[in-house]
Structures are given as structure tokens and as C-alpha cells.
């Protein structure tokens, strides 16, 4: 659902808008999407019991991405959920590799938290898109 909402937000957005940032220390829509799918993949793989080697910092270092690259990342995220979904054990106790090992929680807790995380970033995407439309030549 969140992936479809993200797709709806970037529909009609040009690549300049996809990579535009509102100011110093902020992220573009493309970077936010890269981060959302990276975080989601880490959570899903961890809950399933697959080692994940996420480079979180790299999610924020993309300079410029095409619409095709961003759409491909969303498609890969859809595929990961489709393939891994049946293997998810919501009761399994796991920790995420990007957090301290003592932060062990149930798989369901991680997945619900990650869904909330994605929803927060959806709002950030919406706001960034609105700001871009205010400052870009029409």
C-alpha cells in the first residue's frame, strides 16, 4: 500500500523534482524512497532470518537518480515482500543489524514499526513535492 502511495506521489514529477532538496540538510524524494526501501528490506530480511548487509549511510549519498531507477527500487521492494512474506514469523525475536544486538524485539514489532517509518517518510515525500511545485517554474 505504501509503495503504491509513493508511486502516486511521484507520478508526473520530473527528474529535477525527484532529486530536488528544499534546503541544506534535507533529502530529495529519490533519497527518501531509497532510504524507505532500504529500511524495509533490512526489517523483512531480518525477521525472516536472512543476514542483511545494509549500508544505511549510502542511502543518503545518491547524487541524482532517474525515475526509472526509483521505480525499479519500488518494484524490487514489492518483489521482496511477495517472496519473503510467506516466510515471516511475527513471533520470532530478532535484532536488526544496524542496531545494537540487545535491541531484540518480535518480528511483528519490527514490521509494524517499519510500516510507521515508511508512512512518516510518505508525508515527507508529499511535503517535499509540494514545496518543489511552489518554487519550480510551471
* Residue-by-residue pLDDT tens, the chain, 138 positions: 999 999 999 998 999 999 999 999 899 999 999 999 999 999 999 999 888 787 777 888 877 999 999 999 999 999 999 999 999 988 889 988 888 888 899 999 999 999 999 999 999 999 999 999 999 876
Please state, in angstroms and rounded to a whole number, the distance separating the CA atoms of residues 118 and 41: 12
For position 138, what pLDDT does the model report? 61
Q: Cell match 530480511: residue?
A: 45
Please state, in angstroms and rounded to a whole number, the distance separating the CA atoms of residues 128 and 32: 10
Please state, in angstroms and rounded to a whole number, the distance separating the CA atoms of residues 29 and 20: 7
pTM, two decimals, is: 0.90
Cell of 94: 530478532
For position 129, what pLDDT does the model report? 95
The closest alpha carbon to 84, from 120, 53, 55, 48, belongs to 48
Please tell me the chain's helix, strand, coil percentages from 3-state DSSP, rounded to the nearest 5: 65, 5, 35
Amino acid at each position: 500500500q505504501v509503495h503504491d502511495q509513493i508511486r502516486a506521489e511521484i507520478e508526473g514529477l520530473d527528474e529535477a523534482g525527484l532529486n530536488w532538496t528544499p534546503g541544506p540538510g534535507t533529502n530529495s524524494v529519490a533519497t527518501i524512497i531509497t532510504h524507505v526501501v532500504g529500511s524495509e528490506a533490512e526489517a523483512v530480511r531480518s525477521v525472516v532470518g536472512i543476514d542483511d548487509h545494509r549500508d544505511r549511510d549510502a542511502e543518503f549519498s545518491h547524487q541524482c537518480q532517474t525515475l526509472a531507477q526509483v521505480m525499479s527500487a519500488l518494484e524490487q521492494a514489492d518483489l521482496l515482500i511477495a517472496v519473503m512474506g510467506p516466510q515471516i514469523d511475527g513471533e520470532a525475536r530478532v535484532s536488526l543489524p544496524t542496531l545494537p544486538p540487545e535491541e531484540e524485539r518480535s518480528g511483528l514489532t519490527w514490521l509494524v514499526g517499519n510500516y510507521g517509518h515508511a508512512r512518516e517518510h510518505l508525508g515527507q515525500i508529499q511535503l517535499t513535492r509540494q514545496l518543489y511545485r511552489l518554487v519550480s517554474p510551471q
